[in-house]
Structure formats: structure tokens, C-alpha cells
Amino acid sequence: MTRPLRVLVACECSGTVRDAFAALGHDAWSCDLKADERGSNRHMIASVLDVIAHPEIYGVFDLLAVMHPPCTRLCNSGVRWLDKPAKNPIADLTPAQAAAWPNMNDAEKLALTWSKLDEGAALFDACLNSYIPHVAVENPVMHKHAKARIRFDGVAPFFVQPWHFGTDEAGPDNEKKRTGFWCKGLPPLQRTGILDGTTARDSVHKASPGKNRATERSRFFPGMASAIADQWSRHVMAGLMDPARAA
């Protein structure tokens, strides 16, 4: 075994993916604007943009996994609000912006919505094109306006379902949630489960309304987290041992 990898799991406060890498012996860290739910000392309350922009402060990483970027404006599901503003505050506003939303006119709401699209695309682009050689950015299917704002340089997404990594129909992985990854220097995930999807639950899409709905819908799945940590760390380590094998 070569040296442990230094891994950054960004936009995660649950610790699920970070701890999957740590369980394999890697130097894994998470960062988010929220505190870590598990109280881990392997978590930084910081923007991923700051962490990757300042390796002299935060150190150099071998692998970056951006698991829940605040980029709801990039998704096909929200494209309708780019032409006609939503009645209620959109999901990724600051508290001050959300409070001001009811008093804005349509033009102001649209301008703010498009600015959030620009912010989300800039974050996605900065992560995908960072100095880190192995990157995965998770996001649902994107609309054309988002794609036009990001430098993909040939990177195409692949999509998986949580149940692809499940072994128990009653377990937490037997869910429907189409998850996309845009990867640099990392291969598509291979299925590790035995389920066929016919009994998969739809809890994510049917989550009850409420202030915690977005957080609950973005929670990651343990089987997929284990597959990510195992498959991607083995790929990167193989390249460290034999650069000719690195993709």
C-alpha cells in the first residue's frame, strides 16, 4: 500500500462520505458552511472555494469529492423559475434575501435567481477545474444555461441510483434518487449491490415539506459512500504506485 490519500469531501456536514474514506485509512476531511453533525474534528467550517484556493493554509489534496453543492439553480427541475419567478423564496437564498423576496417585483426576483445560477455555476467550475488531480462533483441533470457557464473540457456525467449499491430491501440504500457525477481523473462507479430497483422506495422525492426538507433530501447513502471511497481511492492509489495506470 502506498501512502494514505488526502481527501476533501466538500459541501458535506453529515460526515458520511468523509468517514467512508477515513475507514479505509485515508486522511479525509470535510468542509461546509454548517457545523459537522457528528462533531468531528475532521471537519472545517469553510467554503470549498476558500479551501481549494488556499492550499498553503489548508494543505494539498489528492482527491476532491463535492457531494452536495448548493447548486439547485443548475438543475433541470428548477429551470422553469428562470423565466417566471417562483412565488416562494427559492432554496439557496441567504436569510436576508429570503426575507426580502415577498417584497420584490418579478424583475428583481428573476435577477436574483439568475445571479444564483451564476454563483452555482462558478462554484461547480472552480471545483471541477481546481488544482486537485482527481475530482468528482455531484449534481442532478443540468439545464442548458448551466452547461453554458461551466468549462467541462470533455467531461461527461454518469448517473447511478442508491439501490445500485444496496444489498437489503429494507436497508437505507434501497431508494430512488438519480445521482449524477462529473469526474476528472476518476472512473464511473461500478455497482456493488444485488437489488434490481423494483422495490426501491421514493422517500427522497416524497419528503414532507418543512424547513429541513432540503437537508433531508440531500442526505447521502452509506452503500454509495462505501463504493465511492473504495473504488476511487483504489484508482488513485494505483496511479500513485504506477503513473502509467492512471487515467
The per-residue DSSP string of the chain comes to: --PPPEEEEES-SS-HHHHHHHTTT-EEEEEESSPPTT--TTEEES-HHHHHH-HHHH---SEEEE-S-S-GGGBGGGGGGGTS--SSPPTT--HHHHHHGGGS-HHHHHHHHHHHHHHHHHHHHHHHTSS-SEEEEEE-PBPHHHHTTS--TT---EEE-GGGG---TTSTT-B---EEEEEES-PPPPP-----STT-B-TTTTPPPSTTHHHHHT---HHHHHHHHHHHHHHHHHHHH-GGG--
User: Domain 6-85+121-238, what fold?
Assistant: Rossmann fold (3.40.50)
- Give the pLDDT confidence of 193-240 residue by residue, as tens digits: 999 999 999 987 654 554 544 444 456 899 999 999 999 999 999 988
**What is the predicted pLDDT for the residue at 92?**
83
Regarding pTM above 0.75, the answer is: yes
pLDDT at 247 over 70: no
- Give the pLDDT confidence of 38-55 residue by residue, as tens digits: 999 999 999 999 999 999
- Give the pLDDT confidence of 59-104 residue by residue, as tens digits: 999 999 999 887 778 888 878 889 999 999 988 899 999 999 999 9
